[in-house]
Copies of this chain bind each other. A is one copy, B any other.
Amino acid sequence: MSTTSSAVLVEPRRIDLQTFTLPEIGPDAALVRVEATGICGSDWAPYNGTWMTELPPLILGHEVVGEVVAIGPEATKRWGATEGDRVVVEESVPCNACRLCRTGRYHMCDPLHNKVGLRYGLTPVDLAPHLWGGFGEYMYVHPRSIVHRMSRSVPVEQAPLFIPLSNGIRWVERDGGTRVGDTVVIFGPGQHGLGCVIGARLAGAGTIIMVGTGRDANRLAVAKELGAHHVVNLEDAPVAEQVAALTNGELADVVVEVTSGAPGVLRDAVDCAGVGATVVVAGTREMQLATNFAPDAMLFKELTLKGVYGHDYLSVRRAIRLIESGTEPLDKLCTHTFSLNEVDHALRTLGGEGEAGAIHITVVPGS
């Protein structure tokens, strides 16, 4: 009976490597050897102890790419994957029975909303078979998981980018409703904001404007390489004025707000929006209240504000095809790679306490 290691968050800001028994895999489940797990901005609050609720010990990591090392026959039929295949596993383990699951919104069926749904990277390590997170050598793949194959041709550190890219495609194209020729303004040049630049370019946006601060020089340069037509420093002048100057006064058709911890940015986002525009709100701020936001501004411009939370099946599938195509300069996003022993350092780098200059951070357990 063989054993394996995973990095367990035992309490806020404390990660321990623990040993687990590899589970037996039944006819409708699978086991993957983790090749790489990306770090998502949403990993910070659990790590830092600032999540909405107190969390039990768990294995973080939900941008998971791995090799199938065991799989049951039912699972093979369902997922079209077999031993040796490389797969990505979405973080949702939805219940498949509720209103959300039955209407294409399975990504909202999770511990926040449903007692049956699970979620990789947020499920207690006590629950058998324990291996519910990507920061480990192996991860269990539950029968209700959403599994996609991915080509081995993708460099391992780029593989987890299916998460920021699928988010970027969904938020800009589907949620923002971006149409050919539109002006798209994106607040926040992190990995997800940069995914939105790609999404906007693919959706045919005529003008893509990335908004950042003076500290974002490197990220803004990457934004331009990925297709942003303009980058704007919000410290230079009111953003709406800068956007107006770049758009002949017409402002944006779509605004995507992907900042972190910024309670005042909704006001800026709304100010950049033209009549009838859509403002996608994807950034979180640990439930801080909006400052300086007048709802009347939504009325007088008939704006639509959309709160979004993750990706859907089609956007993940499209992101995987895009990564496989090799046409995007994704290496520019992959700034840091860490080993399983360095998960704590990796998470602190995400929070600005470790290495400098991070965009996308990957943990490669086998390294």
Contacts and interface: CB of A to CB of B under 8 A. Distances in A.
A178 to B, nearest CB: 10
Given A104-B103, A108-B276, A318-B181, A204 B285 contact: no
A296 interface: yes
Contact of A103 (B144, B299, B304, B313): B313
A294 B304 contact: no
B96 A318 contact: no
Contacts of A321: 181, 206
Interface residues of A, number: 71
Contacts of A199: 180
Nearest to A250: B99
Q: How many copies does the complex hold?
A: 4
Nearest to A79: B97
Contacts of A128: none
A100 B102 CA distance: 11
Given A181-B318, A203-B204, A313-B103, A282 B302 contact: no
A77, A147, A295, A317 interface centre (most CB from chain B within 10 Å): A295
Given A179-B314, A299-B307, A302-B308, A275 B108 contact: yes
Contact of A204 (B106, B173, B284, B296): B173
A97 to B, nearest CB: 4
Contacts of A77: 115-116
A322 B203 CA distance: 15
Contacts of A286: 296
Contacts of A154: none
Contacts of A275: 100, 105, 108, 113
A235 B14 CA distance: 45
The 3 closest A-B pairs by CB, nearest first: A298-B307, A104-B104, A181-B318
